[in-house]
Amino acid sequence: QQPVQSPQAVILREGEDAVINCSSSKALYSVHWYRQKHGEAPVFLMILLKGGEQKGHEKISASFNEKKQQSSLYLTASQLSYSGTYFCGTETGDSSYKLIFGSGTRLLVRP
């Protein structure tokens, strides 16, 4: 069951903030966030685990609401290099540790 990401696309001016959301219809064990630039492979940003543990880049901020089965990725003071497509991946209780990705959120940061 694919998680739902919102918004599908967002355009920012450099320095502005953005929030990307990821929601699931099932209980979550973990949520992953990756960024993919055009023509490149996805790059790991962060994992949020059930129970509160987080692993990832220091400059990346995210939240994981287990009760609401949602996660949000916070991009503050955006830079041009933040442009790309952001994917969340979720591991649900019935997926046998299978990681399923959402359809992505396209982010464009303009000067």
Partner 1 sequence: KAGVTQTPRYLIKTRGQQVTLSCSPISGHRSVSWYQQTPGQGLQFLFEYFSETQRNKGNFPGRFSGRQFSNSRSEMNVSTLELGDSALYLCASSLGLAGGNAQFFGPGTRLTVL
Residue ranges that bind partner 1, judged by CB under 8 A: 29-30, 32, 34, 40-44, 47, 49, 55-56, 87, 89, 91, 95-104
Question: Which residue, 43 or 77, has its beta carbon nearer to partner 1?
Answer: 43
Question: Which residue, 16 or 61, has its beta carbon nearer to partner 1?
Answer: 61
What does each C-alpha distance from 17 to 23, 73, 79 come to in angstroms? 20, 11, 10
Task: Tell me how far, at minimum, the Cβ of 56 lies from partner 1, in Å.
Answer: 8
Q: What is the 3-state secondary structure (H, E, C) of 73-94?
A: EEECCCCHHHCEEEEEEEEECC
Q: Using CB atoms within 10 Å of the CB of residue 28, give its burial: 0 to 12 exposed, 13 to 18 middle, 19+ buried.
A: buried
Question: Which residue, 19 or 49, has its beta carbon nearer to partner 1?
Answer: 49
Task: Tell me how far, at minimum, the Cβ of 10 lies from partner 1, in Å.
Answer: 17
Task: Tell me how far, at minimum, the Cβ of 45 lies from partner 1, in Å.
Answer: 9
